[in-house]
Structure 1
Amino acid sequence: MGKADADGPGLPDLPPEWGRVVVPDDLAALADEAEQVRRELRRAAADRRRWRPPTGPVLVLIVAVLTTIAGLAAVTWPRAGRTGPAAGTPDPAPAQLTGRQLPALDLVDGGQSPVPLRGLLPVVVLLVDGCACPEQVTEAATAVPPGVNVVTVAGTRPRAAPPGTSVRALADPAGGLRAFLHLPAGQLGVTAVLADRSGRITLVVPEVTSVADHHAELSRLAA
């Protein structure tokens, strides 16, 4: 038996929304309710432990992984505003070489003997590692004034000079001349470099269409 003590003497006032509170004579009657309350408290504690924020080494590892992913995304994400020269477009730097001295490089002939480049002045150098282009080489040999040397420079081995010309065929295995001119390796076409008797570069044409188009510069080489 229990008795209603919500309104009885000796108890504090209870909220009216609780209704009528009955206190049983035997507290064992509240065992089921007490066990239910304990289960709810344990469940709530377990939930808090389950969602506890990571700390220590786990947190450091998560931050490192997120930082790595962010860095990769920044590098690989396409940038619409980023532009550059198209493949095969010559570097604009050769035009700025006019007036500079031809480098003191040693090229090699067919027997792999060294040939000083500055020992061939005045000279028209034709880089032909990307194209033999015999027609253009022959045209250059015909267009230069007397006393001006025409030299073809290939990559690892000299290319054969067109028959009937005095063109000297050399090679630049180290790629020093192309590096000096800021030209990409394997570029197609013929590049022309004109240097006068003092070794001063008077003209650089990254892609020659016709050497005869530069008649004035060729004539000044013999002066």
Structure 2
Amino acid sequence: MGKPDADGPGLPDLPPEWGRVVVPDDASALAAEAEQLRRELGGTPLRAVPPPPARSPFALALLVLLVAVLTTLAGLAAVIWPRPGRSTPEPSPTPYAPAGAAGRPLPALDLVDAGQSPVPLRGLVPAMIILVDGCPCPADVATAAALAPAGVTVVTVAGTRPVRATPPPAGATVRPLADPAGGLRSFLHLPARPGAVTALLVDRSGVLVKVVPEIHSAEDYRADLTRLAA
């Protein structure tokens, strides 16, 4: 059945306390001893580690789509998110300048006097019309009345009610009127500016000769005012 290891040629010497060791011809004869040894050591047979489950193509495609959506949202947030320290510039105010009104006929407007009676504006030409809806400015009105030649009417136009200025110089004619509908301002495309007066010089034929958006001194209109009487 087998040969003792101690008597076999070429085998190393074994400790004498092991006794006589017999190597069987059939390895299956050692199955009982191997099973007993495993029970004594408490060991269990080694098991192969199962491979990780393969991911389905649908899950992979879903992951790629999710990453793309998150990247797009992050880019949009970076563009539209308000940044500190930066503000949208405010539009510049509309310049106070006539939009080509000079040389055009004065519109057929009816203004109102202190008694709320209509007064045709064209019936007062030649005239220097001073818009005082932004400022009464009696000094500017008095200066214009003093410089106006004979036959030229100085008309002050307020917003809702006529504004009576100081008594005009002797021989001067000042006609206070009001323009509740704002027809003159709409015609000129000139909004009222606080603290400023606008002047319109109109000749005998009712043509607008000159527009002074804001009077600074009499030199802004003196020469044209003199020619209105011709």
* TM-score in same-fold range (> 0.5): yes
Please give the per-residue CA displacement for 1:22-62, whole angstroms capped at 9, x wherever unaligned: xxxxxx944xx23x422xx259975653443599xx99xx7
Taking only aligned residues, the RMSD between alpha carbons, in angstroms, comes to 3.9
Looking at CA atoms only, which structure, 1 or 2, has the larger radius of gyration? 2
Task: Give 1:8-157 correspondences, 5 Å limit.
Answer: 29-30=47-48, 33-34=49-50, 36-38=51-53, 41-42=54-55, 46=59, 48-53=61-66, 66=76, 78=88, 87=93, 89-91=95-97, 93=99, 96-157=100-161
Shift of 1:120: 0.7
Counterpart residue identity of residue 153, structure 2: N
Identity %: 51
Please give the per-residue CA displacement for 1:137-172, whole angstroms capped at 9, x wherever unaligned: 011111111111110011121111322453111111
Number of aligned residue pairs = 179
Instruction: Please list every run of 5 or more consecutive structure 2 residues that lacks an aligned counterpart in the other structure.
Output: 1-45
Shift of 1:220: 1.5
Structure number having the greater helix percentage: 1
1:177 to 177, 184, 187: 184
Instruction: Please list every run of 5 or more consecutive structure 1 residues that lacks an aligned counterpart in the other structure.
Output: 1-27
4+ runs deviating over 6 angstroms: none
